[in-house]
Amino acid sequence: MWLPTTDLSGDTGPKYKALVEAIITDIESGRLRHDVRMPTHRDLAYHLKVSVQTVSAAYKEVERQGYLRSERRRGTFVQARLTDRASSFILDNRQPDLIDLSIVRSAYTDFHNDLSRQLHRRLADDPHHPWMESCRPVAGFDYHREVGVKWLAGMGLAAEPSHTIITNGAAQGIFIALASIVQPDDVVLTESLTDHGVIGTASVLRFKLGALPTDDEGIIPEAFERECQQRAIRALVITPIYTNPTNCLMGLERRKRIAEIASQHGVYVIEDDVYRPLLEQSLPPITSFIPQLGFHVSSLTKIVMPGLRTGYLVVPKHLSIRASSVLRVTGWMGTPLIAEIGARWIEDGVVAQAVTVQRALMRERQSLVAEILGDAVVRHHPTSLSAWVRIPEHWQEEWFASELRKNGVAVTISDPFMTVKVKRPNAIRVCVGGAIDTPSLHRGLMQIRHTMEQMPGVHAFDVMY
């Protein structure tokens, strides 16, 4: 039975906090490994000579931070650290001879490479480079913010440069928004399966992350309202267009209803809207209905090319100074050179051209997904960068992904996206962007289908049954 290596009896502070630190230390060091069953509350309390309530409080806190998971009638188990869970199934580096369908990213083709080369030649020929001379204002150069605001207006969001911040992509924008408004132990709601960056941010900022059930349109309003009625909710983080990883798409009426509930209960809404330009229909941002409570996050990364990490964060007017100060202490400012490239490409129409190319490529690739995977596809859209795919009941996600990896295909299982106490859906995310070509995608999808048609190996079968 696991016991902490440190003696808690001499600790002068709350014993549950010392136990929390001991558990996390042993998980981080590898002494407590993934899927190890923890001692029962009563057994650990007996051996440590503390109350059962102390152990329960410690387990609850460690679970909130994502290091433990409790399973009904089975006990409490060590959960792999978020970074481990993400890097196990989302590749950090490109690997030769591997068809990588594990990362949501915009397509990158010869067209995109030519755009980049042309732009760099133009930059080299410019006699003056003002974007390299200064590292302020922190919120971004006025010209870059003005161009961003103009671009956002074309997508239905009215904003002012004075409360728009240039960020290094959407992930930084979401972090800044959360850090501007939450305190430790505040409750933040999101989709039950959500972007792993939000889960990681909860561990860093130490807020409590709550999960909301979803359907084809995303978060269910009644569940959101019920949570708001039962406890104080500080913020809602939501991706209404092509939710990651489940590919939900929220309609107009639900957007209005979510905004209405947030307004009634004073809940800030952080809207991750990075896929909006890919959508071939007009839907207003949720934050356009509640500008006093809305943080709108957008980026060029998912629509132009993966390395163009320029984002635009629109914040409530009264939080402009605070959000800028958070940016200052966490990254100083968005990289001016990348912001300059983004601004130029917005102004000269390259972004609009790139969006047209992305849409066409995704339509071609998503048609392959539908053709090859058929009814296994739970949810996808013609211009989305990924598909949410159900795997057969005789497979577990880890074994399925492992078998695919052995055969040269990488996909992502649900683990990195699971909030606390969410049932595993037995599904995988298949990404169709990136640098893959059509023949490679076809081979990868065929391998997925072939694996679905197989029974798992004996070792996997024994573990499952």
Same domain, 316 and 230: yes
Residue 82 is predicted with a pLDDT of 54
Per-position b or e across 336-367, b if 16+ CB within 10 A of its CB: bebbbbbbbbbeeebbeebbebbbebbeebbe
The CATH number of whichever domain residue 71 belongs to comes to: 1.10.10.10
| Omega cis (within 30) before 137 | yes
Q: How far apart (Å, rounded) are the C-alpha atoms in residues 412 and 429?
A: 5
Please identify, among 348, 366, 386, the residue that sits at the C-terminal boundary of a domain. Answer: 348
Strands (E), 120-180: 164-167
Q: Is residue 119 part of a domain?
A: no
Q: Is 158 a domain residue? A: yes
Task: Look over the chain and give the mean of its residue pLDDT values, rounded to a whole number.
Answer: 90
Domain shared by 269 and 416, yes or no: no
Indicate whether 31 and 144 sit together in one domain: no
Domain assignment present for residue 114? The answer is: no
The pLDDT of residue 142 is 95
CATH number, domain with residue 248: 3.40.640.10
* Residues 58 and 93 both lie in one domain: no
* Residue 121 domain-assigned (yes or no): no
Q: Which of 98, 170, 99, 88 has the alpha carbon at shortest distance from 415?
A: 88
Task: Reduce the DSSP state of residue 410 to 3 states and report it.
Answer: strand
When divided into structural domains, the chain yields a total of 3
Tell me the whole-structure pTM to 2 decimals. Answer: 0.83
Identity of residue 236 = L
* Residues 299 and 188 reside in one and the same domain: yes
Q: Are residues 165 and 293 in the same domain?
A: yes
For residue 247, what pLDDT is reported?
96
| Residue 202 located in a structural domain | yes
- Residues in the chain with pLDDT values less than 70: 9-13, 80-96, 420-421, 458-465
| Host domain of residue 28 | 15-79
Same domain, 100 and 162: no
pLDDT at 91: 55
Q: Are residues 104 and 239 in the same domain?
A: no
Q: Please say which residue of 326, 348, 370 terminates a domain.
A: 348
What token pair was written down for 24?
Answer: 């996390």
Give every strand in the sheet of 208-212, ordered side by side.
164-167, 311-314, 294-299, 268-272, 235-238, 187-191, 208-212
**Statement to judge: residues 337 and 387 lie in one domain:** no
